[in-house]
Structure 1
Amino acid sequence: MASFVQFLQHSGVYAAQSFMIVPRGGFNLVCLRDSKDVRLSYDRDRLQIDDVRLEHVERVAQEYIDARFRTQRSQEREDQSLRLRTALYATARPEGPARALKISAKGVGIPELRAMRGSTGIKLEIAILPRKDFTIAFKFLKHLDQSGKVINATKWTPDDVPWFLTKLNWTFGAQANIFFTAVDATWITVQKALGAKISRDVFRSDIVPFKRRDADLTCFLVGDYDAMDNEAAGEYLPDEQVCVVVDQGNPPVFDYGEAFIGVMAHEVGHFLHHKRNMPGSGHHDRSGVLLSSGMESLSLDKQLVSNITAW
């Protein structure tokens, strides 16, 4: 039976919900499995769909990676590029059972793609999303210890910001066409002893004033933090447009390897939800999806995409 699947994890193809995103004026990729004798039906005024053949793989893969990583150079970029090229070559074989489809947006809205074999078939809603760009500043806390010596409160440093951006821009850029640019990455020093765990009151009074006021969002790295609400691993303050993330993240909630960046993405998700003037905090009960009140991951879904952006 024919089916649509993503080539890369967190790439804006939500096969279980028969939904995918395509950047307005750009393209996304999807694999059509068991494609023999399947014909495609779609709105040709709003979509252009091309098969990615062997001679196209390198060019298409490069365009795809460039669009989502922009000028950032990183191991993550190289890894994703290798994964994509490998997957595309596997589906681009002549007479193979699967097809690699390059879906380009020519219009707006949510046109449908249908893959039909005879009188039966499957469909995919294709949300054509405008690009959104936000600026983000990162501030790393120093304060005094009990002897009056300046100490680093966090293990993270400004040198880690390129990695932060790579992960955030893949999470939100590839899945919702939302990108972030860093406008600041600096240490801040509070000239008093703050203790091992920063309270919300201390955060508001002594740390938030260091925010970058011309940035859309300022993210503070403070080591450990106590929001007084379920030992939160991070928090977003909508009235200040700042967030705070603890060094270790939240291992019980996120899969291995995502505990820290998952919390940062969670707080950024609150920011995006707030920017859309959506009601509530943005938390939901869909397990395995970012902002879930249960287990989370860096995955978005159709409902979350609709909550943080518009088509």
Structure 2
Amino acid sequence: MLTRAQIDPVVTAALAEDAPWGDLTGQVFLPAGARAAAQLVAREDGVLAGIDVLEAAFRLTDGTVQVTPRAADGDRFPAGTVLADITGPARAVVQAERVALNLVQRLSGIATRTRVLVDAVAGTGARITDTRKTTPGLRALERHAVRCGGGVNHRFSLSDAVMAKDNHLAVLREQGIDLTAAILRAREQLGHMTRIEVEVDRLDQIEPVLAGGVDVIMLDNFSLEDLRRGVEQVAGRAIVEASGTITEETVAEVARTGVDMISSGALTHSVRSLDLGLDMAVSA
């Protein structure tokens, strides 16, 4: 689960961006003593992610605002479901509303999209994973949302694992460096806990990569037939990851080729925010 150490800096920055000198409209239109009672309501079916992020937006605006969740991250819900109750000073609730909604809508959109792909590959043994194609500054939150949708996370950053992609291999070729030898040299420099993954785009690259002792091999933009052949060729010697233009329509066929992992950058880089609203009542 997300921690306050991950959530609060992101939300604090978003609140400062949205109201750098306070909410001018709330200050001049709303009485100082007015109270608000609001509900987070789903306008469409989905999967919840970011309820603690929503809470933080109100808490960091005014510590007296109370957020009472009615659902937990990872829960599915139909349209019309009340997901949380919010009560507190009307000025604070209105000021935090947009930041709270922007974040929980985006995270729930990611969780919902992930769940669609996870459900599509159910029973195949393949797992859905994200990529580093996340919104700058929001990676921890967006990857949490992927987990809420039933997916798993790829390496979190460039510092976590070795992943040689097409541009790395192009440099090796230009320098006349043997791929297998390069992988073996990399392994000598790493601790025993660090994995090595190499991306390939042709079947004839598989054996040289496996000869280097990689942990994971990514078959990038392979046809379905070549994915099947690639899985057979690897024959359990490494984890096989499929990547490249994964859609709701194609993901099940990709999974049935026998790959272990299916990565999709679209889970985070082009997802549609889920339609959630804040229905509010204000009293003296």
Q: Same fold (TM over 0.5)?
A: no
Q: Per residue, is there more helix in 1 or in 2? A: 2
Q: TM-score, normalised by structure 1?
A: 0.26
Greater length-normalized contact order (CA 8 Å, ≥ 6 residues apart): 2
Please tell me whether Structure 1 or Structure 2 has the larger radius of gyration of its CA atoms. 2
Q: TM-score, normalised by structure 2?
A: 0.28
